[in-house]
Amino acid sequence: MTMPTSQCPYRMQVHHIKQETPDVWTLSLFCHDDYLYQAGQYALVSIRNSADTLRAYTLSSTPGVSPFITLTIRRIDDGAGSGWLTREVKRGDYLWLSEAQGEFTCQNHPAGRYLLLAAGCGVTPIMSMRRWLAKYSPMADVQVIYSVRSPQDVIFAEEWRQYPVTLVAEQGAVHGFVPGRLTRELLASVPDIANRTVMTCGPAPYMDFVEQEVKALGVTRFWKEKFFTPVAAPVTSGLKISTLQPVREFHTPVGSTLLEALESNKVPVNAACRAGVCGCCKTKVVSGDYSVTSTMTLTEQEIADGYVLACSCHPQGDLVLA
């Protein structure tokens, strides 16, 4: 079987599929190669093993804990990626995945106290991190608040019995659920919230509310991960990147590298090592905020002139490229 795109070099076989809720499934994949990732990261998936359609999904499994690489996917009406993965893919089929991506991981933010907040499918990186903390940081004080539409929509329902969790149901709350939505009062009831590292994932309005409320309660260590528009399709929110020659403007998901943003929006760019070593993806940034993890092969003058290695450039805001 031929690799469909260099962006997705890891071939994995579907070992089994589990339905989590009426519209969410977990695909457990077996990878024949070493696959390195951190709890909370995501990967691109080649849809229908095509180079033209890629989608980003959280790796809901946990390194060192889960026996498989898992993707937990909500079926979206007319969704090219979720529809194929939840309707057509079956046990024994092969999928092609990219390397793990993203900075939303507790391994980057070690702490003694956490508050993990999730809504809907935003629970996928949260569960990945919760398992990781239980195994590798068992003395950490971890509080979790998980908001769902109804009790039937709790993803990983059986597994949550292993961990302390506050479940919030907007509709049909039964025993064990807080009725309604997340509130400031519920957040304020978390012991010593101001001294916790807070990490959250969910829809944009939920994320905005959480950020506003926890910061009002004194939280200073806060990280979030949005569910973003799949990277192979045009994105209408997130970071904006503009090119001058020819003039072009596009949006990219928060957390993408510059190389991922360029490739997913069909902007020609050379890339070989994808690790900040070869220098093929050298790109000039005219303006904007960003951080870099490698400047290998760049001269001091090139760095001063705004050149970056796209694979190692992490936009912090809107960028303009030459």
Partner residues linked to 290 by β-bridges: 315
pLDDT tens by residue, 261-302: 888 777 777 766 677 766 778 899 999 899 998 888 888 999
**The dihedral sign for the CA sequence 239, 104, 224, 65:** positive
Q: Which of 49, 66, 97 is the last residue of a domain?
A: 97
The Cα diameter of the chain in Å comes to 64
Cβ-Cβ contacts under 8 Å for 53 (sequence gap 6 or more):
46, 47, 80, 81, 232
- Give yes or no for residue 162 having a pLDDT over 50: yes
Six token digits for residue 225: 């991960």
**Edge-first strand listing for the sheet containing 282-292:** 248-252, 239-243, 313-321, 282-292, 307-309
* Residues 131 and 212 grouped into a single domain: yes
How much of the chain exceeds pLDDT 70, in percent? 93
pLDDT tens by residue, 184-233: 999 999 999 999 999 999 987 898 899 999 999 999 999 998 543 333 34
Q: Which domain holds residue 210?
A: 106-226
Cβ-Cβ contacts under 8 Å for 227 (sequence gap 6 or more):
121, 122, 201, 202, 203
Q: Which residues of 44-74 are buried (b: 16+ CB within 10 A; e: fewer)?
A: bbbbebeeebbbbbbbbbbbeebebbbbbbb
* Residues 126 and 208 grouped into a single domain: yes
What count of other Cβ atoms lies within 10 Å of the Cβ of residue 79?
17
* Residues 110 and 216 grouped into a single domain: yes
Residue 189 sits in a domain whose CATH number is 3.40.50.80
* 151-172 average pLDDT score: 97
Six token digits for residue 198: 């807070």
Residue 23 sits in a domain whose CATH number is 2.40.30.10
What is residue 210's three-state secondary structure? Answer: helix
pLDDT tens by residue, 59-112: 999 999 999 999 999 998 888 899 999 999 999 999 999 999 888 999 989 999
- Residue 317's pLDDT is 86
- Residue 298's pLDDT is 87
What count of other Cβ atoms lies within 10 Å of the Cβ of residue 304?
9
